[in-house]
């Protein structure tokens, strides 16, 4: 079974509360659900103190119909 699953990837921006580093994490919607319990670790200092900024979706809406 391949290709039946459509995974929507989105870019999430985070800011580390420990060092102020802003970083992006690309992940699927299902993975994002888990972030409510466990935020991603900061790539700089490794602290799991990140908070989410605005989320930008990969799939852009068409500008015209």
Site for Zn ion, rule CB under 5 A: 16, 18-19, 21, 42, 44-45, 47
What are the structure tokens assigned to 4, written together?
């039946």
Nearest of 60, 62, 51, 54 to residue 8 by alpha carbon = 60
Q: Least separation, in Å, of the C-beta of 59 and Zn ion?
A: 29
Distance, C-alpha 37 to centroid of its chain: 14
Q: Distance between CA 18 and CA 16 in Å, rounded?
A: 5
Least spacing, CB of residue 41 vs Zn ion, in Å:
8
Residue whose CB is less far from Zn ion, 24 or 33: 24
11 or 45: whose CB is closer to Zn ion? 45
């Amino acid at each position: 079974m391949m290709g039946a699953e459509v995974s929507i990837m989105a870019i999430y921006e985070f800011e580390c509360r420990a060092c102020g580093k802003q970083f992006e994490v690309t992940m699927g919607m299902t993975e994002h659900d888990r972030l409510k319990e466990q935020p991603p670790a900061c790539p700089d200092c490794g602290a799991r103190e990140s908070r989410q900024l605005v989320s930008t979706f990969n799939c852009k809406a068409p500008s015209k119909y």
